[in-house]
């Protein structure tokens, strides 16, 4: 959910206020300018009247637990017929404790638990973190053979913000492809799907001399191709939200668009974290990519921490006494984005108080 342009605190009270956008006054002497960055700023308004219950359609719904897999037990999703399963994040360093030695016990446990209730697991493979204490790279990879294997991420202010494996390093990619192959051998067809983590990273050539934005694009494509080649039955997806070295629509290097084009060409689905229907950042990047092109591969969108009140997990809503955004988020995702998968974060109290009732509160018989 990394959003590289810093964001402000927002006060939210009612639905219209939560989604209000700043507009500039113009005079007769200063005719209005159609800012390309604002071309979708009012798109949400077409869905402002959406209400619960969410209509039954062809969107598949999953609950996102991040790494908090212990919450799976006795969770309402287990007995709700509109929730297909759980999306859980698994850290590469925990899945491969030694080179070529894999430990998939946690995944197996979660698969079996969900299967007992007729549900499916969706794997999110974590090779980047946003907290310094979590290292995604296996220990053996932190060596000269892999040029250190991982690098710290930095915010725009220069503060450290977790780690990312060197996706752009060929030796690292080779080991990542091996991991994907091992996962597919064990779980292809048993899980609903698997996605690679978001493309946005806090890395620049100044902080990692072996990094370039162009090489990073090709590295992501290579990982996507390895993912698609490994899994033949379960769905595959790349989360593609922002790319280093460009900022749309003003700094368009074609990086993000090429990721979406590559996914369509090789049959790997495309998605993004953070359904933010009024934010320029999201509207001009992942959401625009989904809206402006036709796809035969599945598209997915994740409602993540904070999105239920119009912010991200890194921000603070100073007043959270507002109407539910859930029906609007679903309507926007279905109509404007044309997604086939939605991942609803299990964030208290919103998931049980807003998402479950809006899905119809329909338990399995």
| Structural domains in the chain plus CATH codes | 61-358 (3.20.20.80)
> What does the pLDDT read at residue 18?
46
> What does the pLDDT read at residue 3?
47
Instruction: Measure the CA angle with vertex 227, ends 223 and 232; round to 5°.
Output: 160
Length of the chain: 365
| Distance (Å, whole) CA 345 – CA 339 | 17
| Distance (Å, whole) CA 278 – CA 18 | 9
Q: Stretch 183-206: mean pLDDT, rounded?
A: 98
For residue 212, the SS3 value is coil
User: What percent of the chain is predicted at pLDDT more than 70?
Assistant: 88
pLDDT tens, position by position, 69-85: 999 999 999 999 999 99
| Distance (Å, whole) CA 203 – CA 100 | 28
- The per-residue b/e assignment along 94-119, b for 16 or more CB within 10 angstroms, e otherwise, is bbbeeeeebebeebeebbebbeeeeb
Q: Which of 3-7, 83-87, 314-318 has the highest mean pLDDT?
A: 83-87
> What does the pLDDT read at residue 10?
33
Q: Stretch 10-39: mean pLDDT, rounded?
A: 56
Q: Stretch 40-56: mean pLDDT, rounded?
A: 96
Residue of 241, 269, 282, 259 whose CA lies nearest to 341: 269
| Distance (Å, whole) CA 90 – CA 150 | 17
pLDDT tens, position by position, 210-265: 999 999 999 999 999 999 999 999 999 999 999 999 999 999 999 999 999 999 99
User: What percent of the chain is predicted at pLDDT more than 90?
Assistant: 84
Number of H helices, E strands in the chain: 11, 12
> What does the pLDDT read at residue 63?
98
For residue 249, cis peptide bond before it (omega within 30 degrees of 0):
yes
What are φ and ψ of residue 50, in 5° steps? -60, 140
Tokens 């479950």: give the residue: 356
| 164 in Cβ contact with 156 (< 8 Å) | no
| 125 in Cβ contact with 197 (< 8 Å) | yes
Does residue 17 have a pLDDT over 60? no
Q: Stretch 145-161: mean pLDDT, rounded?
A: 95
Does residue 118 have a pLDDT over 60? yes
Q: What pTM did the predictor assign?
A: 0.90
- The per-residue b/e assignment along 157-174, b for 16 or more CB within 10 angstroms, e otherwise, is eeeebbbbbbbbbeebbe
Give residue 267's region: left, alpha or beta (phi > 0; psi -120 to 50): left
Long-range contacts of 96-99 (CB under 8 A, 24+ apart): 96/138, 96/175, 96/179, 97/138, 97/139, 98/138, 98/140, 99/138, 99/140, 99/175
| Distance (Å, whole) CA 22 – CA 266 | 40
| Distance (Å, whole) CA 352 – CA 76 | 8
Residue of 296, 252, 249, 307 whose CA lies nearest to 270: 296
Does residue 104 have a pLDDT over 70? yes
Q: Stretch 297-313: mean pLDDT, rounded?
A: 93
Does residue 182 have a pLDDT over 60? yes
Write down the mean pLDDT value for the chain. Answer: 91
Does residue 131 have a pLDDT over 50? yes
Instruction: Measure the CA angle with vertex 165, ends 98 and 304; round to 5°.
Output: 110
Tokens 């990094």: give the residue: 211
Does residue 319 have a pLDDT over 90? no
Q: Stretch 122-129: mean pLDDT, rounded?
A: 98
pLDDT tier at 33 (50, 70, 90 boundaries)?
A: confident
| 343 in Cβ contact with 301 (< 8 Å) | yes
How far is the CA of 195 from the CAs of 205, 240, 363, in angstroms?
27, 10, 28
Give residue 257's region: left, alpha or beta (phi > 0; psi -120 to 50): alpha
Does residue 316 have a pLDDT over 70? no
> What does the pLDDT read at residue 103?
98
For residue 53, cis peptide bond before it (omega within 30 degrees of 0):
yes
Tokens 């959270």: give the residue: 320
Does residue 31 have a pLDDT over 50? yes
Long-range contacts of 99-107 (CB under 8 A, 24+ apart): 99/138, 99/140, 99/175, 100/178, 102/179, 102/182, 104/182, 104/183, 104/186, 104/187, 106/69, 107/183, 107/186, 107/187
């Amino acid at each position: 959910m990394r959003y590289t342009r810093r964001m402000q605190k927002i006060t939210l009270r009612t639905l219209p206020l939560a989604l209000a956008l700043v507009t500039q006054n113009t005079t007769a002497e200063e005719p209005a300018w159609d800012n390309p960055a604002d071309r979708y700023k009012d798109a949400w308004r077409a869905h402002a009247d959406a209400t619960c219950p969410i209509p039954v359609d062809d969107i598949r719904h999953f609950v996102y637990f991040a790494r908090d897999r212990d919450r799976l037990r006795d969770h309402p999703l287990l007995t709700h017929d509109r929730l297909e399963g759980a999306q859980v994040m698994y850290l590469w360093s925990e899945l491969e404790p030694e080179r070529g030695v894999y430990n998939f016990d946690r995944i197996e446990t979660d698969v079996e638990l969900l299967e007992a209730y007729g549900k499916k697991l969706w794997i999110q493979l974590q090779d980047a973190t946003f907290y310094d204490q979590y290292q995604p790279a296996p220990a053996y990879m932190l060596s000269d053979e892999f040029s250190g294997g991982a690098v710290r991420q930095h915010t725009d202010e220069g503060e450290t913000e977790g780690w990312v494996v060197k996706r752009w390093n060929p030796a690292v990619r080779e080991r990542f492809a091996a991991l994907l192959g091992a996962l597919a051998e064990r779980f292809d067809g048993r899980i609903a799907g698997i996605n690679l983590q978001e493309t946005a990273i806090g890395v620049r050539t100044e902080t990692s001399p072996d990094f370039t934005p162009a090489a990073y694009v090709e590295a992501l494509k290579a990982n996507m191709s390895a993912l698609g080649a490994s899994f033949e039955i379960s769905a595959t997806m790349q989360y593609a939200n922002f790319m280093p070295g460009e900022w749309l629509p003003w700094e368009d290097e074609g990086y993000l668009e090429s990721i979406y084009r590559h996914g369509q060409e090789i049959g790997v689905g495309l998605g993004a974290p953070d359904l933010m229907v009024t934010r320029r950042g999201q509207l001009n990047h992942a959401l625009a990519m989904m809206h402006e092109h036709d796809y035969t591969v599945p598209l997915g969108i994740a409602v993540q921490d904070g999105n239920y009140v119009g912010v991200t997990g890194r921000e603070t809503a100073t007043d959270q006494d507002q109407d539910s955004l859930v029906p609007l988020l679903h309507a926007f995702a279905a109509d404007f984005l044309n997604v086939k998968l939605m991942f609803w974060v299990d964030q208290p109290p919103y998931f049980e108080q807003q998402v479950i009732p809006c899905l119809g509160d329909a338990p399995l018989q």
